[in-house]
Amino acid sequence: MRRTSKERLTEKLACFGRFGADERGGITRLSLSPAALEACGEFRRRCECLGLAVRCDDMGNIYAVKRGTEDLPGPAMGSHADSVVNGGNYDGMLGVLAALEVLETMVLDGISTRRPVSAVIWTNEEGVRFPPAMMSSGVLTGKFDKAAVLDVRDADGVSFGEALSAAGRQGDKAARLGPESCTAYLELHIEQGPVLYESGESIGVVQGVVGMCNYTVSVFGRAGHAGSTPMPRRRDALYAAAGIIRRLHDDLGSIAGGPLFTFGHIECRPNMHTIIPEEVSFSLDARHRDPDVVRRVVEVITSLPKESDGCRVEYREEWARRSTLFDPALTALVKRNADALGYAGRFMFSGPGHDAQYVQDMLPAAMIFVPSIGGLSHCPDEKTSLDDCRNGTDVLLNTVLELADT
């Protein structure tokens, strides 16, 4: 079995962790921001120093290719270089640097393969500056319309297309990752949850990404003076919403299979301490790997009463995502390599979404998870031990080498 270098990986994480380091001790590296462009520039510079060909497709995705001995399609690996606001340095970036470390190991150890091996940086995975998330892999796999996403604007009115052009990242459509150039896609990523950390295992072999649905529930009451409206006469939208959230919590919590659900965003209008709330909207995000469980969730939401505590109740589906199953032969190969390296691991599902799940629609794809200390992610305390980072990268290296020689 081949090994990557923990020292080199440590240096890469420290170097790239400077791009977007914010004053609150975290990373703010929004897509196509100066910090993200610096990180991508450093990636490109390092790849060119290794003698790799670097190119960019029309969605700004960056590819570094180590040629094979034959002109054939080959495996690719990668992740994203953008972050959320005040996030950590491991989400996405670890997968990018692991892919770089694999290519560097191949170059420095003189490993040649029959097929080429590529590293990819996906543009705008987080979707924080330009929604939706996983925008570029979504365009490549036909989920989103390219013209529509180029027109999506950030808070300053800059469109995604303008940001791509300004960054010089509107490359060649022919460079896109696809079945003509690529045989399989592997993404190493932090788990972003507590399972591996608590079990003490180093490697999660991801079998798929759970399905989810996302709703907005709105409650309409009547505004009135807080000092003069008698309690029995009130139609308080916030009070009604509290009852509905409680009821949804109980009903969703009793669904067999145990979906995960979150009421993460709430808006109250007019949101003044002297005025009875007139309108309240809240979000409901629910996830489960079994489509039947997600269907049960939808049944609970769609059977909400039209009226509650004197207030009108409406719900609206914002979006939904079906469960993705990764390629079983590829996940088995990842597990075999983890076992051969002597790294403890398990099969598992991902709750968060990743570019790999869209790629699976056009190519065999799989993901390697490494533990998140304390299960934390999307925050400055997001961290993975350097041993686990290296172990995951070793699994990536050996899996990719096997794919590149078949």
Shortest reach from residue 79's CB to Zn ion, in Å: 7
**Residue 116 or 352 with smaller CB distance to Zn ion:** 352
**Residue 92 or 364 with smaller CB distance to Zn ion:** 92
Length of the chain: 406
Shortest reach from residue 193's CB to Zn ion, in Å: 12
Shortest reach from residue 80's CB to Zn ion, in Å: 6
Q: How far is CA 402 from CA 45, 74, 290, in A?
A: 27, 11, 32
Measure the CA–CA gap between 192 and 203, rounded to whole angstroms.
13
Torsion, Cα 17 368 99 387, to 10 degrees, reads 60
**Residue 91 or 154 with smaller CB distance to Zn ion:** 91
Phi-psi domain of 405 (left: phi exceeds 0; alpha: psi -120 through 50; beta: other): alpha
Measure the CA–CA gap between 73 and 251, rounded to whole angstroms.
50
**Residue 91 or 278 with smaller CB distance to Zn ion:** 91
**Residue 60 or 92 with smaller CB distance to Zn ion:** 92
CB 162, CB 151: distance < 8 Å: no
Residues 72-101 that bind Zn ion (CB under 5 A): 91-92
Q: Does residue 277 bind Zn ion (CB under 5 A)?
A: no
Measure the CA–CA gap between 24 and 2, rounded to whole angstroms.
39
CB 92, CB 187: distance < 8 Å: no
Measure the CA–CA gap between 196 and 192, rounded to whole angstroms.
10
Alpha-helix runs per DSSP H in 135-288: 135-140, 146-150, 160-166, 195-199, 237-253
Cβ atoms < 10 Å from Cβ of 262: 11
Shortest reach from residue 121's CB to Zn ion, in Å: 12
Shortest reach from residue 373's CB to Zn ion, in Å: 16
**Residue 92 or 211 with smaller CB distance to Zn ion:** 92
Only one residue has tokens 């399905």, namely 211
C-alpha closest to that of 91 among 78, 100, 101, 80: 80
Shortest reach from residue 83's CB to Zn ion, in Å: 8
Would you state the structure tokens that stand for residue 348, as one six-digit string? 């598992």
**Residue 121 or 203 with smaller CB distance to Zn ion:** 121
* Size of interface with Zn ion, in residues (CB under 5 A): 2
Shortest reach from residue 113's CB to Zn ion, in Å: 27
**Residue 92 or 193 with smaller CB distance to Zn ion:** 92
Shortest reach from residue 183's CB to Zn ion, in Å: 23
Shortest reach from residue 54's CB to Zn ion, in Å: 22
CB 400, CB 188: distance < 8 Å: no
Identify the DSSP state of 372: P
Measure the CA–CA gap between 30 and 18, rounded to whole angstroms.
14
**Residue 205 or 300 with smaller CB distance to Zn ion:** 205
Measure the CA–CA gap between 381 and 89, rounded to whole angstroms.
9
The residues binding Zn ion (CB under 5 A) are: 91-92
